[in-house]
Each structure stands twice: as structure tokens, then as C-alpha cells.
A and B are shown apart, each in its own frame.
Chain A
Amino acid sequence: MSLLERLRRGHLSDQQFARLWTSGERHPHLDACAGCRARFAEFDAWLLDVGETLRIEADEVFPVERLAAQQAQIARRLETLERPARVIAFPKAARAVISGNSHVRRWVTVAAAASLIAGFGLGQIVPLRSVIITQQAAAPNPHFNAPVAVDRARELTPVNPSPADDELLLSDAFASPKVKNLSALDDMTPHARDYVSRPK
């Protein structure tokens, strides 16, 4: 039966069959037309055949033995779920490399880096060295004069320590001062020699 003839007689198309099959509705034309009924039965058989073929294909891929193996595998996996996993400890040496208070170390590192950066930045902003040099140049130290100190050091003569020097030192201690300015002050001050020479 050609398409034109089917349309002329109001027969149902494949699309309408598909719609009827999907919705489960009943078309009045099917009751009246034996040809369309036969075609619909064929369509129905074709669909069932497709479904059956796909089922067979999948069942061939999963034969009974494979399903049994799958079931055993599922049972094993379920059993494994109940047992907690065993943790294998790593050797200590390997752990020491990454152990310790890593967060403390991290903070120290960060603080050091921050200080370095801050110091560097501050150094760039404030020219501290030039300020210090300028200040030193502007106000020299009045208590310190390097050339004078060098001269005084040269005047000093080295002393050779000997037993005679000790006696000389003692006699010096009992002698009167050689500086005139201090003789008045020396007179007012009690001396050791007075106590030593006094009779007991």
C-alpha cells in the first residue's frame, strides 16, 4: 500500500502507530480497518523484537558465570566495608623530614621575611647612614681628640718592673707631693707616714 493510497483512505502512518503505542490510546480507525490493524500488530512485534534483541545482547555479555562472579565481588566489597582499613606507619626517618611544628616554623619564617622586607623598605625610605654621618660631621666629640691622645701615649715611658721599683714606690707614698698646687691640700690630709713614724 503506497503512502498516497494510505493518505487517501485515511490509513494510519508509522508515526501515528508510534504515538498510539506510546500513549496506549485506541484509535477508532484500527477497529474498522483490517489492514491498519495488521500493520499495527507488525509494528508492535517489531518494537518487541527490538527490546528482546537488546535484552539478548546484554545477557550475552553478562552470562550466569559472570553474574555469579559479580555477586561474589559485591559480597566481598560489603564485607570490606565493615573492617576498618589498616594504616601502615611510615619509617621515622622519612617522617622527620616533614615533622615538627610546621606552623610554628612557618610563622617564624614569615616573621623573618617580613622583618627583612620591612627593614629594607625602611632603609630605602629613611637614609639613616647619611643622617648619622652628617650629625657626626656637624658636632665632633669634645672629650675625644685623637691627635692629643696619641701624643700623650708617646710621652709615656715603659717601666721595667723590679724589686727596687717597689721600694721606690713605697718611698714615693711616704714622700710629700711634688705638685705645688696640691701641697695645701696635702697638709690638711693625715698621712700614713705620720702613723708609721709615731712611737708606740
Chain B
Amino acid sequence: MVVNASARAAYSMSGTSPALVAAREADAAAASAVKAHQTAGDLEDARQRYAELVARHQRRAARIAYHYLRDSAEADEATQDAFVKAYQHLGSFREELPFDVWFTRILINGCLDRIKARTRRERWLVPMAGTRRTGGGADGTAAERDITDRVAAGGASPEQALLGRERRRQIATALAKLPERQRSVFVLSHVEGRTSREVSALTGLNESTVRVHLFRAIRKLRALLASDTAVAAPGELKGKRRVTS
């Protein structure tokens, strides 16, 4: 089968790469050390060792939180809360479970709580003109800054940057249209490269249910992006064949 073999291996739905195994061993060692320091009362050392774990998982955590919440400030807070909570409850962490799976579960629960709270809040608030939350809308400034930065750094041309930004907007909008579970499963599988078993452990869903959600998410995204591309920019994806199923 001629498919992108390296990418397939990286995003394999069943296997675990040696790099990931090594990273998990390092996580387990760091988590054990933090626990031992906490028990001994060496809190300074515990914090120092925990900083290693934070540095290793911070970017991934921020991505997940951002894709759940679609708001950078809230994603930042949710990530911080998850790390603080994980530190406080490290005593209950079982080492036979990978640290990243345990931690991501805490993070996702926190994000879901925030989404619930936001939904409750928005039910009672009248939206003001121009403050409607759109996919990535809260971070428009970052995207705008992106163009000037790239031009100044001699990277992609303004045209390419603009097209890239438009593409990201389309994908983010399409992703936001997915039902919550499909979106979670898709983000964890495709953005974070988790196996279906890991996604199952993270979300509490059955492994086969994860596959079904993933399949539906891909199908819907494909349809949404195909229609978006056809309406918005017919010439943009020249050379890529779009097949409607």
C-alpha cells in the first residue's frame, strides 16, 4: 500500500513508537521522584522535578486546551489549572498508567467544566456586537501579527501567509461545527497523534466508539471543507482532487 508511511507510523492507530515509550519512561521516573520528594517534605526539589514534566507536556496541553476552548486566555488558565491540580494530586497517580494520559484526563475534565460554565454564563448574557466568539477569532491579533513577522523574517510571502491564514480559518471553522465528542476524538487523534486506545483512555469512551466518532468526524470535515473550498476559493486547492461521497 503506497501511503505516507512515516506519517502513518507517527499517527498509527494501534502501535506506540519507541520515542513515545522512552518519553513515558522518563515521565514515570520524574513523577516518582516528585512523589518521593513530596513525601519527604523536600518541596523545593519536588517543584524542580515537576518543572521538567511541565516543560515536556506544556505545549501539547496548551494545544489541546485551545482546541477545546477556542480562546487563548481561557486555554492558558485551563492549562495552568491542570498542572497545579496534577501536582497536588500526584499522590493518587498510579505509575502503571502513562503520566501524559493521566494528566490529559485532568486537562480535558477541566476544559469540559469551563465549557459548561461558559454555556451557563452565555445563557444569561446578551452578546454585544462584535464580541461573538468565533473559531480563533479571539486571537485575530496573533494571526495579524503573524503576517508581518513572517515578512520581516523573510519567510513566506504576504500572499502565501494570507492563504495559509484563510486555510486555517476554514479548518478551524469546520472543526468547530463538529459535535463535541467527534471534535475531541479528532483533535486527540490527529492533532496530538494519540492511538484509539489512548483516546479511549482519555475520553472514557469505548475503543470502537472512538473509531466510529473519528470516522464520522473525518467524513463530516471532508464534506465541510470541500463545500467551503468550492464556495470560497475554487482555485486554491488546484491539483487536489475532491471526491464527494
B1-9, B24-32, B96-104, B115-123: which lies at the interface: B1-9
The residue on A at minimum CB distance from B59 is: A67
Q: Is A15 interfacial (CB-CB < 8 Å)?
A: yes
> A14-B244, A51-B11 in contact; A60/B146 too (CB < 8 A)?
yes
A79: B residues at CB distance < 8 A = 47
In angstroms, Cα B1 to Cα A30, docked, is 7
Q: How large is the interface on A (under 10, 10 to 19, 20 to 34, 35 or more residues)?
A: 35 or more
Q: Is A23 interfacial (CB-CB < 8 Å)?
A: yes
> A67-B59, A73-B80 in contact; A54/B211 too (CB < 8 A)?
no
> A41-B4, A73-B80 in contact; A51/B14 too (CB < 8 A)?
no
Q: Is B40 interfacial (CB-CB < 8 Å)?
A: no
A31 touching B4, Cβ below 8 Å = no
A66: B residues at CB distance < 8 A = 76
The residue on B at minimum CB distance from A73 is: B80
Tally of A-B Cβ pairs under 8 angstroms: 140
Q: How far is the CB of B185 from chain A (nearest CB, A)?
A: 10
B residues bordering A, Cβ < 8 Å? Answer: 1-4, 7-8, 11-14, 43, 47, 50-51, 54-55, 58-59, 62-63, 66-67, 72, 75-76, 79-80, 83-84, 87-88, 136, 139, 142-143, 146, 167-168, 171-172, 175, 187, 190-191, 193, 196, 211, 214-215, 218-219, 221-222, 225, 240-241, 243-245
Q: List 26 A-B contacts (CB under 8 A).
A: A15-B219, A22-B218, A24-B12, A37-B2, A40-B3, A41-B2, A42-B240, A42-B241, A47-B190, A48-B190, A50-B171, A50-B190, A56-B168, A57-B168, A57-B171, A58-B66, A58-B67, A61-B75, A61-B139, A62-B75, A67-B58, A67-B62, A70-B76, A71-B51, A71-B54, A81-B87
